[in-house]
Amino acid sequence: MSKQSLAPVKSGFIALLLGASSAWAAPDAAVQKDIERHRAMAAAHEAAAQCLAAGKKHDDCGKQLQAACKGLGIGKYCGMRHEH
Query: What is the residue range of 76's domain?
Result: 29-84
Tell whether 20 is covered by a domain.
no
Name the average pLDDT for the chain.
77
41 close to 65: Cβ distance less than 8 angstroms: no
- In this predicted structure, what is the pLDDT of residue 73? 74
Torsion 38-44-46-52 (CA) sign: negative
Distance CA 62, CA 75 (A): 13
- In this predicted structure, what is the pLDDT of residue 82? 53
The whole model's pTM is what? 0.61
pLDDT in tens, 33-46: 989 988 998 999 99
pLDDT in tens, 15-29: 555 555 555 677 799
- In this predicted structure, what is the pLDDT of residue 14? 61
45 close to 78: Cβ distance less than 8 angstroms: yes
Tell whether 22 is covered by a domain.
no
Confidence of residue 84 (pLDDT cuts 50, 70, 90): very low
The tally of domains found in the chain comes to 1
